[in-house]
Structure 1
Amino acid sequence: MVLIGLFGILAVLLAVQLKGMKPEYGIYLSLAAAVVIFAVGAQKLEGVIEVLSRLQQYLPVSAEYLQVLLKMVGITYLSEFAAGICKDAGYQAIGCQIEMFGKLMILALSMPIVMALMETLDTFLR
C-alpha cells in the first residue's frame, strides 16, 4: 500500500507540473497511473477469491452467492475507477452517471439473493 500511495503521489505531482505546460499530458499521465494502480489492485483480488473459496468449504454457502459477491466487488471497483478518471478530467457529470449506473447494476444483481432470502424467511415463519 505504501508503494502504491507513493506512486500515486508522484504521478499527481508530475501531472500537476505537466498541466502547466500541456494540460492533456497531465491527464494522460494521471490516466496511466490510474491504470497501473487498477492492475495492481486487480491482482490483489486473487487473494480475496482464494479466501472466499476456502470460506465456501467451511460454510454451506452456494457458489452462486459467492459469484454474485465477486461481481458486486468488480462492479464497484470498475465504476469507481471509471468515475474517478472522468471526474479527474473535469467531467463530473459523466463520473456521477457512471457511479449511479454501478449502483443500479449492484442493485439489479442483488435482487435474486434478496428474493431467496425472502423465500427462506417465509419458509421459517410458516
Structure 2
Amino acid sequence: MDIIQLVGLGLVAAVLILVIREQKPLFAFLLAAFTGLYVFLALAGRIEEVIAMLQRLADRSGIPGIYLETVLKIIGIAYIAEFGAQIVRDAGQESVASKIEAAGRVFILVLAIPIIGVIIETVIGMLPEGG
C-alpha cells in the first residue's frame, strides 16, 4: 500500500470520525484506533525491508549484531509507545498517554544502558594512563 492510499484512508476515516463522534463517540474512537492499527500494520513490510538493509550494513561493517538488535528494539519501543499514547489521547486520556510515553522512555533507557557502558569503557580506554 503506498502513501497516497494510506493518506486517502486516513482522510476518509477522519471525515467518518467527525460525523460519527457526535452520535457514537465510542464507535468513533474504535474507528480511529483500528485505522491507526491498519496503517501501522500496512507499514510492517516496509519496516522489514529497512531492518534487512540495516542488518546487511552491520554485517559488512563488522558491528556486533547485539548493537543493531538493541537499537532496533529501542526504535520499536519508541514507535509502539508513541502509537499507544496517540490512541489513548484520541480517547481523551492525556494523563494515561503521558504515562505510556514515560514507560517507553524507561524501557529505552534500560535497553540503552549496555551500549552506554561500552561507549564509556571505550572513552576511558582512550584516555592516557596516570594523569
Per the normalisation by structure 2, the TM-score is 0.91
1:57 alignment partner in structure 2 = 59
1:33 alignment partner in structure 2 = 35
Distance 2:113 2:24 in 1: 47
Amino acid at match of 2:55: S
1:11 alignment partner in structure 2 = 13
Amino acid at match of 1:90: G
Residue 53 (structure 1) shift: 1.1
2:85 alignment partner in structure 1 = 83
Amino acid at match of 1:103: R
CA RMSD in angstroms, aligned pairs only: 1.1
Distance 2:40 2:59 in 1: 29
Distance 1:125 1:107 in 2: 26
Residue 42 (structure 1) shift: 2.4
Deviations 1:6-43, CA, capped at 9 Å, x for gaps: 21111111011111221111111111101101111222
**Structure-to-structure mapping, 1:98-109, within 5 angstroms:** 98-109=100-111
Distance 2:43 2:104 in 1: 18
Distance 1:34 1:41 in 2: 11
**Gaps in structure 1 of 5+ consecutive residues:** none
| Number of aligned residue pairs | 126
Residue 116 (structure 1) shift: 0.5
- SS of the residue corresponding to residue 117 of structure 1 reads helix
- SS of the residue corresponding to residue 21 of structure 1 reads coil
The percent of aligned pairs where both chains have the same amino acid is 31
Distance 1:17 1:109 in 2: 43
Distance 2:107 2:62 in 1: 26
- SS of the residue corresponding to residue 63 of structure 2 reads coil
Task: Looking at secondary structure, tell me which structure has more helix per residue.
Answer: 1
Per the normalisation by structure 1, the TM-score is 0.94
